[in-house]
Amino acid sequence: MQLTPDDIVVFTLAGWKINATIVNTWIVMALLVGVSMLVTRNLRADVPPNRWRTALEVIVKMIQGQIEEVARSSARHVMYFSGTLFLFIALSNLMLVIPGFSPPTSSLSTTVALALSVLVAVPVFGIATGGVGSYLKTFVQPSVIMLPFNIIGEFSRGISLAIRLYGNIMSGAVIAAILLTVAPFFFPVVMDLLGLLTGMIQAYIFAMLATVYISSATAEPDPSLPKHEDKP
Amino acid sequence: MTDLAIIAVISIFTAGLTVSFGALGPALGEGRAAAAAIAAMAQQPDAAPTLSRTLFVSLAMIESTAIYCFVVAMILLFANPFWSAVQGAAGG
């Protein structure tokens, strides 16, 4: 049984073993970039929108709306980051229906890389909005006693982000493989259907949690001060 | 019993135990969370989109503990480090 696509070596490039995870990540990236570039090639005001452009706009508007509900301030830069995470994870999870394609998110190295990028993005966004001092102040937020727990929490949520995505996608693949040996005709299709649902939910949750972490690190206005902007 | 047999017995037994207890706790927790969310939705149908979004996120976070147990069981069954160490030492 194949627990991870890291073990499948597709080809060797100048002594480097290029495994299926890297190749599948390239395929997903090429699909995302290629389709977006093809669709937005004629992005001018005088060109009427076609159905592809409308579809992309619907996706972007949906991501924007979801993120603005969670992160009220500085939503635009967070959207570039979390939206990219969502699109990449969602597409790679959805491509599990293609026979022979093992999604790159079912490898622990991909999910650890994504979680590391979240861990780096949290202080970057926090410092960019409020400066170094106010970001470091979030670590001693309730009191100084909570400092070690806040530091531990920072790392543990990175680990849990990585393991959650990996475990969900890998478990879907493993259960489908086990059922393939037990009841090969109909049941694996149902489990793949469930895998599609789980993949979308996990992609949503990964992006949502990244947004929540970032928006909790970006300095919020002091609650004692009156709010300057209150949306109805 | 040989070393390999002992390792195999303990690994398989522990994998079953891990999955059983790892399924027990999150199942109870998810049931309570879903029941509370459905009760809240019945009281306030207007807040249903927000509630269901929060429910999905929290269900996935509760479920991740079960997934950790599943990953540990999979490691015990298919990628057991002690098994390969003993096999390597035996020259197999």
CATH value at residue B7: 1.20.20.10
What's the confidence (pLDDT) of residue A220? 60
Instruction: Round to whole Å and give the CA distance between A32 and A7.
Output: 25
- Give A81's DSSP letter: H
> Do the domain assignments include residue A229?
no
| Nearest C-alpha in B relative to A170 | B71
Spell out which residues of chain B touch residue A205, defining contact as CB-CB under 8 Å.
56-57, 60-61
Q: Tokens 């015990």, residue?
A: B76
| Nearest C-alpha in B relative to A169 | B67
Spell out which residues of chain A touch residue B68, defining contact as CB-CB under 8 Å.
163, 167
What's the confidence (pLDDT) of residue A217? 79
**Average pLDDT of the residues in B77-88:** 82
Spell out which residues of chain A touch residue B61, defining contact as CB-CB under 8 Å.
164, 205
| Of A57-66, A194-203, B65-74, B77-86, minimum mean pLDDT range | B77-86
Q: With an 8 Å Cβ cutoff, is A160 touching chain B?
A: yes
| Nearest C-alpha in A relative to B71 | A167
Instruction: Round to whole Å and give the CA distance between A170 and A150.
Output: 30
Instruction: State the pTM of this model.
Output: 0.82
CB contact under 8 A, B64 and A167: yes
Domain that includes residue A184, residue range: 5-217
Q: Is the pLDDT of residue A32 over 90?
A: yes
CB contact under 8 A, A164 and B60: yes
Domain that includes residue B20, residue range: 3-80
Which pLDDT band holds residue A29 (cuts at 50, 70, 90)?
Answer: very high
> Do the domain assignments include residue B22?
yes
What separation in angstroms does the CA of A164 have from each of A52, A202, A208, B59? 33, 8, 14, 12
What burial letters (b/e) apply to A96-118, b meaning 16+ CB within 10 Å?
Answer: beeeebbbbbbbbbbbbebbeeb
Strand partners, A17: A12
Q: Which among A160, A211, A215 is the top mutation candidate for probing chain B, defined by the most B β-carbons within 10 Å of its own β-carbon? A: A160
Number of structural domains found in chain A: 1
> How many Cβ atoms from other residues are within 10 Å of residue A26's Cβ?
12
* Contact indicator for B58, B33 with CB cutoff of 8 Å: yes
**What are the two backbone dihedrals, phi and then psi, of residue B30, each rounded to the nearest 5 degrees?**
-65, -35
Number of structural domains found in chain B: 1
> Do the domain assignments include residue A47?
yes
Average pLDDT value for chain A: 83
Based on the number of CB atoms within 10 Å of its own CB, is A25 exposed (0-12), middle (13-18) or buried (19 or more)?
Answer: buried
